[in-house]
Structure 1
Amino acid sequence: MMSHLPIPGKGKFYDLHIPYDENERHIESTVETLKDLGYSVCAFSKYIESNSGKKEGKKNKRQLPEAPTKRDFDGIVQLTRATIELSEIDDQITVRDIATGGKFDIIAVEPKTEKLFLSACTQLAVDIISIDCTEKPSFFFRKHQVHAAIARGIHFEFNYAPMIRNPIIRRYTTTTAMRLLECCQSKNIILSSKALQPLELRGPFDVSNLGMLFSMRESCVPHVVSHNCRCVVVHSFVRKTAKGAIYVEKLENTGEDDDCFVESAAKRPKLEIST
């Protein structure tokens, strides 16, 4: 049953993008602020830059980073996350190696080209496609690409803290989010902070209201910091363990003849499969 899986219960608030800092005091301050604001789950992220800027002889010698250390904090669930920049084809090897290593709870990618965005949507074993809005987008979203990612259980992420720091980023984020929402119909969207300081964090209700700014469907707005984020954690667990949950309902004896089996079976409850 789902309650026995290492997955937070329903109805909790998530921030799945907190850049990891080795400064223990800073981490404690961030976690305390998250708890005060009402969050129950957070993910500390390590950013892995693209291999594109490195010399040919050093590209294959990169050492994969260790996952952030989980500290003992009460009242909040800590997850680890790798955010991988995709600027060239070889960066997909890094994604494969990180996924195979199994050290990180969540794997996110940040594609910089349309070709790599397509690969992330259709091929790569990832949980989140994080949309970089620090500069003007270099490609347009296409419905078949976005729908392919949704069918695979992948979620798209926007970060709100950079919007607070820079009005240009705020404009880029709003425009890009509206374009993506046209393709995905407000499905599989999460909002995270990517906050560098505790003062940049905002409460879950304030964050979810940003969905209205992005012209998100009103019924989907509350899910961007709760239900959708939990789906990311479930997707990650299934990806790592190839496990799921299945619910089977025992049928009562109808007393019908075997000749009526086909007709009666069509009226019986179907199996519900969830992950």
Structure 2
Amino acid sequence: MLYDLNIAWSPSTTQSELTQTLKFSASLGYNAVALNHLVEIFPPQPKNPLPRFPSQTSQSRPTTKSAASTNDSGNKEDKNAQQNQNQTGDDRSLPTVLHRATVCMSDPASVHRIPQLATLYDIVAVRPTTEKEFSHACQEVKIEVASLISLDLTQKFPFHFRPKPCMAAVSRGLRFEVCYGQTLRAGAGDPRTRAIWIGNLMELVRATRGRGIVVSSEARRVTELRGPADVVNLLAVWGLAAEKGMEGLGVNPRGVVVNEGINRRGYRGVVDIVQVAARDNGEGATAAAAGGNGKKRKGGANEGRGGGNSNAPPADGTISKRQAKKLKKLAMEDGGTTTPEENKS
């Protein structure tokens, strides 16, 4: 599966433009995309303004109901069923749509409020702009809070991407996002901006050795989308190997989506609790037979060997140390001189 985890969205984006972009993305081969909402100023009460698209599984149900109602009714219901089928066909041409929020870390006071977005969005990313914010994102931001470090490579950073913090972020499970749509927009306006983007990309690839990079488009319109093969070839020119480029479109973004889902649905980010297993009746019956109310009887092990009398020697002639002490004590109380070893012989 191929992923594009950054389709730019703004309040000025119309529904028709967004639908056209999603359909073209599906035609290029992308199976899942994420609508990105850039949060520059953290609101007091965050909300998710992104439009919602029905999933493919939910759209298959109205068609089934309409087909069933056609057998019971006449031409009117037949026409409704045809409309539902046409609508389902349009929705099937759309990829799986996720919701994402990218928080600009320009305000340090709003960093601790980032976990509030986890309940509203499927994916949460951070965008640092200074060296202090970049180091904080690489070494201190938890993977449960944000799993992507999105960088605007068109700006000239006042620092260099050093291998130590970058590899620390990759080893912790964070991923760096590279958006090729930024250089497409930059080249049309200012060639100098494209040169800055290429320089930042090459420096990031050297610092991470091509590991942990997620490739996205950040497309604002249809003309900024490119096919997977074109993207891989484009990045290979600037230092990112072809196999690393395919990982940035498939394996790495899939890991981000899966981990974000586990953090939201799982128990402590480990497992999904589907159903609590019922206790086996046979286990309770065995415990009750051994010692009443599920309690272990004191001499249960010896009773299984020697029958009901715990003092009687077992049938195979082997006795335990505990039973040997009991036999010796009984022999002393009876005044006899025999020992358990003699009784055994």
| Shared fold (TM-score, shorter chain, > 0.5) | yes
Task: Give the structure, 1 or 2, with the largest relative contact order (CA under 8 Å, sep 6 or more).
Answer: 1
CA positional deviation for 1:67: 5.2
Q: Which amino acid aligns with 1:148?
A: A
Deviation of 1:64 (Å): 1.2
Alpha-carbon distance in structure 1 between the residues aligned to 2:159 and 2:41: 18
1:106 correspondence with 2:152: no
Which one of the candidate residues 205, 225, 232 is aligned to 1:181? 205
Partner of 1:267: none
1:74 aligns to 2:65 (yes or no):
no
Change (3 A) 1:244 1:117: farther
Matched, 1:87 2:78: no
Q: Number of aligned pairs?
A: 223
Asked if the contact 2:5–2:35 (Cα under 8 Å) also holds between the matched residues in 1, the reply is: yes
SS in 2 for 1:78: strand
Structure label with greater radius of gyration:
2
Aligned to 2:116: 97
Which residue among 163, 166, 188 is the counterpart of 1:146? Answer: 166
RMSD: 1.8
TM-score (norm 2): 0.61
The CA deviation string for residues 193-239 of structure 1, in whole angstroms up to 9 with x for no partner, is 11111111111111122321231234312111111111111221233
Contact 2:236 2:242 in 1 (8 A): yes
Q: In the alignment, which residue of structure 2 is the partner of 1:65? A: 47
Looking at secondary structure, tell me which structure has more helix per residue: 2
* Runs (4+) off by over 6 Å: none
What is the percent sequence identity of the aligned residues?
A: 30
**Which structure dedicates a bigger proportion of its chain to strand?**
1
Give 2:155's match in structure 1, choosing from 118, 135, 153.
135
| Residues 237 and 243, structure 1, Cα contact 8 Å, conserved in 2 | no
Separation in structure 2 between the aligned mates of residue 217 and residue 195 of structure 1, nearest angstrom? 23
SS in 1 for 2:218: coil
Moved more, 72-81 or 107-116: 72-81
Q: Give 1:128 deviation, angstroms.
A: 0.7
Bigger Cα displacement from structure 2, 140-149 vs 180-189: 140-149
Q: Are residue 162 (structure 1) and residue 182 (structure 2) matched?
A: yes
5+ residue gaps, structure 1, are 1-11, 52-60, 246-275
Match of 1:253 in 2: none
